[in-house]
Amino acid sequence: WPLDTAGGSVHFIVLLNWTVMILYNYFNAMFVGPGYVPLGWAPEKSQDCMYLQYCKVCQSYKAPRSHHCRKCNRCVMKMDHHCPWINNCCGYQNHASFTLFLLLAPLGCIHASFIFVMTMYTQLYNRISFGWSSVKIDMSAAKRDPRPIIPFGLSAFAASLFALGLALGTTIAVGMLFIIQMKVILTNKTSIESWIEEKAKDRIQYYQTGETFIFPYDMGSKWKNFKQVFTWSGIPEGDGLDWPVRDGCHQYSLTIEQLKQKADKRVRSVRYQAVEDYSGVCCPVTKGVKTFFTTPCTEEPRIALSKGDLILATRGLKHWMYGEKILDSAADGGIRERGWFPRKCVEKCQYDSEMDQPMDGEKKSR
């Protein structure tokens, strides 16, 4: 039993500490939240609005490093991702708590795994007898051990083995997430910003502009980047709206790059017209077996289509496409409708002289 020995007492107390710290950081990440850009927010200098994107849902400009979350329906400060396990976004205010949870959960599970392994070893040690051609296991009480032990039958062994599997699985899965988070924290990025940086390199290479994109928020030192997220007070530095930038960079260097990528996406987008109705279900049965089994494994929504709808497709898979439905902005309040739809439900439009898509040579000259 836990308190019968000094070693058992130490393990018991340490396990309780793991549990308390894990649950504290988990619920802190869940209920504190990432922090949201105030509704109606705009930069102090009106001329800075030209560097920012405008969110029609929040009726405000998107502050640097903020992004709109469809799940939370708000613009999130320094958004990293939306986590279904905390039912909230990971961002400016709860990034540290979320990362500590990803660290403490594997450590606690490693400790639990050690206890499970040693429990099964000590309990089975006196129950296993080896013969010349057989191994016998006696799951009744221990034969020679006079010390009081917890009754350990076949059901307890199965439960311990199952719990060991859960602990090891959690250690591997959550530990990998922790490594991913630490990589972006030590460069003072988020997962979204890492993706924006990759797209910036692709854009520069595609158009051969000769420019160099430098991520503005990397302080040049892993320790300085670390302190941007983790502080002794538990409150991250700054206000979530204005950020320190490295020498030679502009406060809006990242948002300017985002605007360039938005313009580039419009240039590369292709207009399609719906030839079949689509209800917007995740796995449509009536659109073919391949479409059913190759549905995108993503939280991004599907959009319902009616015959004759126009869509601007920006990316696609073999049997699915992602794009934005062209709506009447006056009738629909300017709200964009984006998502996945089956490729077989649409066909490429035949462009007239005013809507012709630019050829590769024309794209590179833009």
Quick: pLDDT tens for 272-287.
Answer: 999 999 999 998 988 9
Concatenating the DSSP letter of every residue in 88-115 gives EEE-TTTHHHHHHHHHHHHHHHHHHHHH
Res. 362 pLDDT band, cuts 50 70 90: very low
CB atoms within 10 A of CB 345: 22
User: By percentage, how much of the chain surpasses pLDDT 90?
Assistant: 47
Q: Is the pLDDT of residue 363 over 50?
A: no
Q: Which of these, 286, 285, 326, lies nearest to 303 by C-alpha position?
A: 326
Q: Is the pLDDT of residue 57 over 80?
A: yes
Q: Is the pLDDT of residue 166 over 90?
A: yes
CA distance 345 to 321: 10
Across 344-358, average pLDDT: 66
Average pLDDT, the chain: 84
| Residue 83: active-site member | yes
Q: Which of 83, 89, 109, 249 is catalytic?
A: 83
User: What pTM was computed for the model?
Assistant: 0.78
Give 296-317 pLDDT, tens digit per residue: 988 788 999 999 899 999 888 9
Give 210-267 pLDDT, tens digit per residue: 888 889 999 889 999 999 999 888 888 888 898 988 887 888 889 999 999 888 888 8
CB atoms within 10 A of CB 38: 13
Q: Is the pLDDT of residue 131 over 70?
A: no
* Maximum mean pLDDT: which of 128-137, 150-159, 328-337: 150-159
Q: How much is the pLDDT for 158?
A: 87
Q: How much is the pLDDT for 361?
A: 44
Give 99-129 pLDDT, tens digit per residue: 999 999 999 999 999 988 988 887 777 666 5
3-state secondary structure of 13: helix
Res. 330 pLDDT band, cuts 50 70 90: very low
Q: How much is the pLDDT for 132?
A: 54
Rg of the chain, C-alpha, whole Å: 28
Q: How much is the pLDDT for 204?
A: 87
CB atoms within 10 A of CB 184: 19
CA distance 125 to 147: 14
CA distance 124 to 340: 54
